[in-house]
């Protein structure tokens, strides 16, 4: 092994099988840019880092350990294989940053991820038998075990998992929110975020998915000494990406050296992680290096007998510190380096595993406290008949007993009310509460969330063209619901409109940075509409060209459980061309400043129960000006808006009504007509059987025999295969 002790200032993104499952491309870890930016803005830190590393490298303690390491690696295989490290524990704390979305992962995800990380670092993953024979002889376990702390820096109770509502879940490397980092000389800090943004570019312009990164020991000041990790890669073998980041925190570089663009042999030794041996004898299983010079694999798993930058023509493709899709091993040289760093004064890593610190952080003699109860559901808006999985997300202590109450729900499979992750099926539409009690040997505490589960009918409300100008519709109301992370919701306004006198808007000029506001539609039988498109009109203005507000339109075909993007604009592109310049005064557009947009709904054309969501994301740094929507139409692109209604001169009146409602229409020739009335849960309350109506004006009376209860109803008029749906209100 070479005795060079250079530590390359990069961090990592490691690939896994999940790479092929994502819509966005994956990016090599771009921490070089963040490191350069950090040193540019903190030049004294670069001086400190270089001085600290030099002193650590020259210290007698460090030199002795490296000498022992060289002797071990230059010896024979028997010596290497016989060498092992005792188990040692490192306290860990996870800071989960979220804005109420899926990035607010349940505690079970953390437990799963940490278990996989520990399997990797103790070499107990089930696929170690598949390590290439070329490298089995130099592979081993570093035997660091990562354990959640049970005491916080003040000695108070914790379970080592903390959830924070924070816009920094859209993480910028150049302006990060390291606001929660605990003392790095006592804890390994991990931030779980929604996405990691490229360099100075805003998240909305990121060109790919970054899995995670950190800085090598001593690179940055105390607050920055943490791992940042994408929430999407916590389960299954994806968590080996987190094991890779832990490797960086312990002092390892990438196997392919100081580049985040694997695939090229670089000059000047930069394809090396500085863990190569001197040329050994052929007795050393044919491997000329502990981790040979290597240009790296990206989301692939090529043969170990290729891809080398070394005369050996061998490569440790399966190394945890590569970007390959088959990470399986650390080498003895890497293990020695990790232990060298953890026993050095660099970033005071030595204190982390000290006996006193293990007691202070509660990984030795764990502190047992009463949990602060909280829980997660795999979905909160579902179709009737859907099964939901619940899981504990308590803080303060790791719950060891669980007790649930699910009014309106039925336990599924073998689940019980005392399971940690019960499954529950909801069969009837409605809003349902959930109660949960989390306990330990120290005691228990309870929480009840009212209107927590929203179960919706699988029967669509509308079966034909839909037009919405907000002239008479309430928001929120029967056709539109709203949610907001900061209670800044879409609302009807009479201050501006593309046509008529009203539209919906967000008062974004006074919005809270990072706010997310949703305008969610009722349900549509898109299949019945045929050749569906959505048209809408929108107006928006920036306060400054740097504003990165975003409007994104989604569709869902499973009652809002999952959403797919159909349209998105952000930043400068969000502002229509008919709106010029920027303004720091509240934006109120004229009708000519509304632009019209069209979305092809072919991807959901087979759905009989689709809904749509207009989501506005306020810039996490500085929101822009106001945004307006008007004339949202879901129509058949071949027939246009209201063509059939206009043709038959359809009218439903009086509306609202205190009793009888008339459906009037005028036919140019004889047609067969029927009428169905349903309530908002999809239940049929009246059915007028099909019969022939002659040409001319006709009237069908509703609620003439049985009075409807007060509420909102959908009236579906069927005329020779064509359908028109109208909403009526009974007072």
In sign, the C-alpha dihedral spanning 164, 367, 118, 400 is negative
Whether residues 474 and 565 fall in one domain:
yes
Which helix or strand (DSSP H or E) is residue 728 part of? strand 722-730
Residue positions counted in the chain: 731
Whole-structure pTM value: 0.70
* 461 part of a folded domain: no
Containing structural domain, residue 543: 466-636
Count of Cβ atoms closer than 10 Å to residue 345 Cβ: 15
Residues ≥6 apart with Cβ < 8 Å to 481? 520
| 530 in the same domain as 474 | yes
Kindly state the helix (H) or strand (E) to which residue 390 belongs, with its residue range. strand 386-392
Give, in order, the Cα–Cα distances in Å from 549 to each of 4, 491, 520, 526, 540.
48, 18, 19, 30, 10
Among 456, 491, 511, give the residue marking a domain's end. Answer: 456
CATH number of the domain that 723 lies in?
A: 2.60.40.2550
Identify the pLDDT of residue 134: 80
SS (H, E, C) 77-128: HHHHHHCCCCCEEEEEEEEEEECCCCCCCCHHHHHHHHHHHHHHHCCCCCCH
Query: Six-digit token pair at 338?
Result: 């990790």
In a domain? residue 702: yes
Are both 415 and 442 inside the same structural domain? yes
Q: Are residues 520 and 666 in the same domain?
A: no
CATH of the domain at 419: 2.60.40.10
Torsion sign across C-alpha atoms 468, 470, 473, 479: positive
Number of structural domains (the chain) is 4
Cα 194 to Cα 102: distance, rounded to the nearest angstrom: 8
9 in any annotated domain = no
Q: What CATH number is associated with residue 158?
A: 3.40.390.10
CA dist 376 to 161, 390, 446, 514, Å?
A: 14, 6, 14, 22
Please give the pLDDT value at position 715: 87
Q: Which of 235, 188, 169 is nearest to 16 (CA)?
A: 235
Dump the DSSP string for 454-475: EEE-SS-SB-S-EEE-SSS--S
Instruction: Name the β-bridge partners of 697.
Output: 666
> What was the pLDDT predicted at 188?
98
Within this chain, do residues 124 and 173 fall inside the same structural domain, yes or no?
A: yes
pLDDT, position 222: 85
Q: Judge whether 559 and 383 are in contact, CB under 8 Å.
A: yes
d(CA 186, CA 350): 9
Whole-number Å distance between alpha carbons of 680 and 431: 13
In a domain, 500, yes or no: yes
Half-sphere exposure of 361 (CA within 13 A, CB side): 27
Beta-carbon count within 10 A of 47 CB: 11
Last residue of a domain, one of 313, 337, 361: 361
Q: What is the pLDDT of residues 409-467, one digit of tens each?
A: 999 999 999 999 999 999 999 999 999 999 999 999 999 999 999 898 888 989 888 98
- Residue 694: inside a domain, yes or no? yes
pLDDT in the model for residue 269: 42
Asked whether residue 705 is domain-assigned, the answer is: yes
**Where does a domain end: 619, 636, 653?**
636
For the chain, residues with pLDDT lower than 70 are 1-38, 49-84, 174, 198-208, 257-300, 302-314, 639-647, 720-722
User: Do both 406 and 503 map to the same domain?
Assistant: no
Rg (CA), the chain: 31
Tell me if 479 is assigned to some domain. Answer: yes
Domain identity same for 228 and 189: yes
What do you get for the CA distance between the two ends of the chain, in Å? 85
Note whether 227 and 31 are within 8 A (CB): no
Q: Are residues 334 and 415 in the same domain?
A: no
- d(CA 16, CA 33) in angstroms, rounded, equals 23
Residue 7 lies in a domain: no
Same domain? For 493 and 515 the reply is yes
pLDDT on residue 398: 93
CATH at residue 572 = 2.60.120.200
For residue 717, the model assigns a pLDDT of 86
d(CA 249, CA 93) in angstroms, rounded, equals: 14
For residues 193 and 150, state if they share a domain: yes
Calculate the CA 519 to chain-centre distance: 20
Say yes or no: 427 and 536 in one domain: no
CA separation for the pair 414, 100 (Å, rounded): 30
Tell me, yes or no, whether 135 and 254 share the same domain.
Answer: yes
CA torsion, ordered 217, 218, 219, 225, to nearest 10 deg: 60
If you write DSSP's letter for every residue of 264-298 in order, what string do you get? Answer: SPPTTTTT--S-PPPP--TTTTT-SSSS--B---B
Sign of CA dihedral 245, 246, 251, 252: negative
Sign of CA dihedral 596, 201, 244, 223: negative
């Amino acid at each position: 092994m070479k005795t060079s002790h250079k530590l390359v200032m990069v961090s990592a993104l490691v690939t896994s099988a999940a790479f092929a499952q994502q819509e966005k491309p994956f990016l090599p870890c771009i921490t070089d840019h963040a490191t350069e930016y950090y040193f540019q803005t903190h030049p004294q830190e670069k001086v400190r880092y270089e001085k600290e590393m030099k002193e650590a490298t020259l210290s007698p303690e460090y030199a002795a350990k490296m000498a022992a390491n060289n002797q071990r690696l230059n010896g024979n295989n028997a010596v290497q294989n016989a060498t092992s490290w005792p188990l040692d524990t490192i306290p860990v704390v996870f800071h989960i940053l979220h804005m109420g979305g899926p990035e607010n992962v349940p505690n079970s995800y953390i437990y799963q991820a940490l278990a996989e990380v520990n399997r990797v670092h103790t070499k107990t993953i089930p696929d170690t038998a598949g390590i290439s024979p070329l490298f089995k002889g130099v592979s081993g376990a570093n035997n660091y075990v990562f354990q959640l702390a049970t005491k916080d820096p003040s000695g108070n109770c914790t379970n080592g998992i903390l959830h924070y509502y924070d816009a920094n879940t859209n993480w910028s490397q150049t302006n990060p929110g390291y606001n929660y980092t605990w003392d790095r000389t006592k804890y390994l800090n991990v931030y779980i975020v929604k996405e990691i943004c490229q360099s100075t570019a805003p998240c909305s312009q990121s060109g790919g998915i970054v899995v995670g990164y950190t800085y090598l020991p001593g690179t940055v000041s105390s607050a920055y000494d943490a791992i940042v990790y994408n929430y999407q890669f916590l389960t299954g073998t994806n968590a080996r990406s987190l094991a890779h980041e832990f490797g960086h925190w312990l002092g390892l570089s990438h196997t392919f050296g100081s580049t985040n663009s694997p695939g090229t042999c670089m000059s000047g030794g930069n394809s090396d992680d500085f863990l190569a041996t001197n040329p050994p004898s052929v007795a050393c299983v044919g491997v000329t290096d502990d981790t040979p010079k290597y240009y790296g694999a990206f989301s692939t798993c090529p043969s170990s007998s290729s891809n080398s930058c070394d005369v050996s023509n061998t490569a440790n493709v399966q190394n945890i510190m590569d970007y390959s899709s088959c990470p399986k091993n650390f080498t003895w040289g890497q293990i020695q380096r990790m232990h060298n760093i953890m026993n050095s004064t660099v970033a005071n890593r030595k204190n982390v595993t000290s006996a006193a610190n293990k007691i202070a952080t509660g990984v030795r003699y764990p502190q047992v406290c009463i949990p602060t109860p909280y829980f997660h559901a795999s979905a909160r808006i579902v179709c009737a008949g859907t099964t939901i999985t619940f899981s504990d997300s308590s803080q303060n202590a790791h719950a060891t007993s669980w007790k649930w109450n699910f009014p309106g729900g039925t336990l599924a499979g073998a689940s019980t009310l005392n399971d940690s992750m019960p499954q529950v099926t909801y069969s009837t539409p409605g809003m349902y509460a959930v109660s949960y009690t989390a306990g330990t040997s120290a005691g228990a505490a309870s929480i009840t969330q009212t209107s927590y589960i929203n179960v919706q009918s699988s029967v669509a409300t509308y079966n034909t063209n839909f037009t919405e100008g907000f002239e008479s519709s309430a928001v929120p109301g029967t056709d539109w619901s709203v949610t907001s992370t900061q209670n800044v919701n879409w609302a009807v306004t009479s201050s501006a409109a593309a046509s008529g006198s009203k539209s919906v808007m967000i008062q974004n000029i006074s919005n809270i940075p990072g706010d997310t506001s949703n305008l969610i539609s009722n349900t549509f039988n898109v299949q019945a509409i045929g050749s569906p498109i959505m048209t809408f009109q929108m107006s928006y203005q920036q306060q400054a060209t740097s504003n990165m507000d975003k409007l994104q339109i989604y569709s869902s075909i499973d009652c809002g459980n999952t959403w797919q993007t159909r349209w998105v604009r952000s930043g400068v592109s969000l502002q229509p061309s008919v709106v010029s310049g920027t303004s720091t005064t509240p934006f109120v557009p004229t009708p000519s400043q509304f632009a019209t947009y069209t979305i092809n709904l072919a991807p959901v054309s087979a759905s009989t129960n689709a809904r749509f969501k207009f989501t506005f994301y306020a810039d996490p740094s500085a929101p822009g000006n106001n945004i307006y929507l008007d004339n949202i139409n879901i129509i058949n692109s071949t027939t246009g808006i209201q063509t059939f209604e206009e043709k038959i001169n359809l009218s439903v009146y009086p509306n609202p009504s205190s009793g009888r409602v008339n459906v009037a229409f005028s036919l140019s020739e004889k047609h067969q007509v029927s009428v169905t009335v349903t309530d908002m849960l999809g239940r049929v309350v009246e059915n007028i059987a099909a019969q022939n109506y002659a040409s001319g004006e006709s009237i069908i009376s509703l609620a003439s025999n049985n009075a409807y209860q007060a509420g909102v109803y959908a009236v579906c008029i069927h005329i020779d295969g064509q359908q028109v749906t109208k909403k009526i209100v009974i007072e």
